[in-house]
Amino acid sequence: MTLIQPSDRDFRICIVSVATLIEWQMEAEGRGWATRWSSVEALRDQVNREPVLMQTFLTQRNDAGAPELSMLHPVHDNGDQQLGAVTTFDVDPARYAALSRIHGDPDVRAALTMVFRLARGGIGMVAKQ
């Protein structure tokens, strides 16, 4: 697995629908990929609102150097009106590459990358001193 940097061509930040996640989930189940929800029902229970923001962060390449799968961070509203959730999910790189990027501007790319980094580590409200 290779960590994808914001300057890499494989780096993408996209918005997807729950329906798209369900399609990807069914494909991941069929291929036996481990990094997915346990079922479509579990996905629907945890991801019940749109949009879902996705970022690639790891890719696995075959012996010829072609990408075989990408691991993504989906960020979504988990049903609680004040909390979101971030997780990992394996997706066929061709499916993900077909989506439109939302980070054409370098400043937007940097800002969205920071949001994902903070989401992975935890974002909390703090009182000002």
Give whole-number Cα distances, 40 to 17, 26, 27, 69, 77, in Å: 14, 7, 11, 20, 17
**Does 128 fall in a domain?**
no
CA–CA distance, 57 with 5 (Å, rounded to integer): 7
Residue 7 placed within a domain: yes
Q: How far apart are the two ends of the chain, measured CA to CA in Å?
A: 43
pLDDT of residue 25: 94
Whether residue 127 lies inside any domain: the answer is no
Whether residue 74 has a cis bond before it, omega within 30° of 0 = no
Using CB atoms within 10 Å of the CB of residue 31, give its burial: 0 to 12 exposed, 13 to 18 middle, 19+ buried. exposed
Domain count, the chain: 1
For 96-107, what is each residue's pLDDT tens digit? 888 888 877 788
Return the DSSP state at 123.
-
Look at residue 126 and tell me if it is in a domain. no
Q: Is residue 101 part of a domain?
A: yes
Judge if pTM exceeds 0.85: no
Q: What's the domain range around 56?
A: 2-121
Is the pLDDT at 39 greater than 90? The verdict is: yes
